[in-house]
Amino acid sequence: MSAPFRILNECASTNDEAKRWAAEGVPHGAWVLARRQTQGRGRLGREWLSGDGNLFLSIILRVEAFVHLTWLPLLVAAATVEALQFEDPNVPFRLKWPNDIWLGNGKLGGVLCESSNGVVVAGIGLNLNEAPLGELMYPAATLREYTGRQYRPDVIAARIAWVLLQKLQTLLDHGPGELRRFYDQHALFSAGTSVEWNGHRGEVLGLGEMSELRVRSMGRVVSLFAEDVRVSSAVG
Ligand code: BTN
């Protein structure tokens, strides 16, 4: 049976709508999509520009605390990529740790997981059809620009929600092995990539047990948990 969903013309943030709806007892897997948001939020307290034509989705996950919970944001990003690959199997989507989706040299989308009252709300923003207007941290990629096709956010949303529930069940039943393999196949920061964060530089080793990014820097192994990491622009 498919999960209930709501499609709104406009709201402040679909994550807030989903939290309100979850408080009314809506089941695991229910989702909220908006055509535009007036106060879309991103990671690290940033704004998420949310004009018409793109996807603004929040999925309600009723998960008890479990040992692999720290993999959840990456799982949501991986589910989003897998759902997009149903539409466009040959597009080279990349996962940018910790939970961004990249295409070419730009950011196609991002994930913001928030939990309250035992419910995780997985928020996903994707530039399906339009480049966001405004000041951006990273150059934006749009899927339409890449493929020349126009996308229906409601169709993509339903697919993401479905794939996410399957992948979540696999994580719960078998742990993060499959997710780790999917990540390795799609990682923007593959092993050996030179990266920089907060004024530091290092070379990527891979993901640790909690989905942290492990990097060799100045002869030491450093674990990064939520930092903003970029491919290093410096040579040498
Ligand atoms: C990021 O890359 O910083 C995460 C962006 C997450 C944006 C989505 S859009 C749907 C949901 N509602 C929000 O307010 N934020 C998330």
Q: SS in 3 state form for the chain? A: CCCCEEEEEEECCHHHHHHHHHHCCCCCCCEEEEEEECCCECHHHCECCCCCCCEEEEEEECCCCCCCHHHHHHHHHHHHHHHHHHHCCCCCCEEECCCEEEECCEEEEEEEEEEECCEEEEEEEECCCCCCCCCCCCCECCHHHHHCCCCCHHHHHHHHHHHHHHHHHHHHHHCCHHHHHHHHHHECCCCCCEEEECCEEEEEEEECCCCCEEEEECCEEEEECCCCCEECCCCC
Rounded Cα distance between 207 and 130, Å, is 32
Place of tokens 């605390």: 65
Q: What is the mean pLDDT of residues 130-145?
A: 90
pLDDT for the residue numbered 138: 87
Confidence of residue 23 (pLDDT cuts 50, 70, 90): very high
∠ at Cα 85 (233, 232), nearest 5°? 5
Range scoring the smallest mean pLDDT among 6-15, 132-141, 169-178: 132-141
| Model confidence at 50: pLDDT above 80 | yes
- Ligand 1 atom showing the smallest separation from residue 107 Cα: 2
Considering just the CA atoms, what is the radius of gyration of the chain in Å? Answer: 17
- Percentage of the chain modeled with pLDDT above 70: 98
CB distance 109 to 126 below 8 Å: yes
Lowest mean pLDDT among 34-38, 97-101, 225-229: 225-229
| Banded model confidence at residue 85, pLDDT cuts 50, 70, 90 | very high
> Over the chain, what is the mean pLDDT?
95
Q: Does the CB atom of residue 42 touch ligand 1 within 6 A?
A: yes
- Please check whether residue 116 is in contact with residue 70, taking contact to mean a CB–CB distance below 8 angstroms: no
Instruction: Give the integer Cα–Cα distance in Å for 45 and 180.
Output: 27
Residue 233 has pLDDT above 90, yes or no: no
Is pTM beyond 0.85? Reply is yes
Residue 45, pLDDT > 50, answer yes
| Beta-strand relationship, 31-37 and 5-11 | parallel
Ligand 1 atom 9, closest CA? 125
pLDDT-based confidence at residue 236 (cuts at 50, 70, 90): very low
Q: Is the C-beta atom of 13 inside 6 A of ligand 1?
A: yes
How remote is the CA of residue 56 from the centroid of ligand 1, in Å? 7
- Is any ligand 1 atom within 6 A of the Cβ of residue 129? no
Residue nearest to atom 11 of ligand 1 (CA): 123
CA of 142 to the centre of ligand 1 (A): 16
Q: Is 35 in the pocket of ligand 1 (CB under 6 A)?
A: no
Tell me what the mean pLDDT of segment 32-60 comes to.
95
What pLDDT is recorded for position 217? Answer: 97
Q: What's the CA gap between 215 and 225, in Å, rounded?
A: 11
Gap from CA of 141 to ligand 1 centroid (Å) = 16
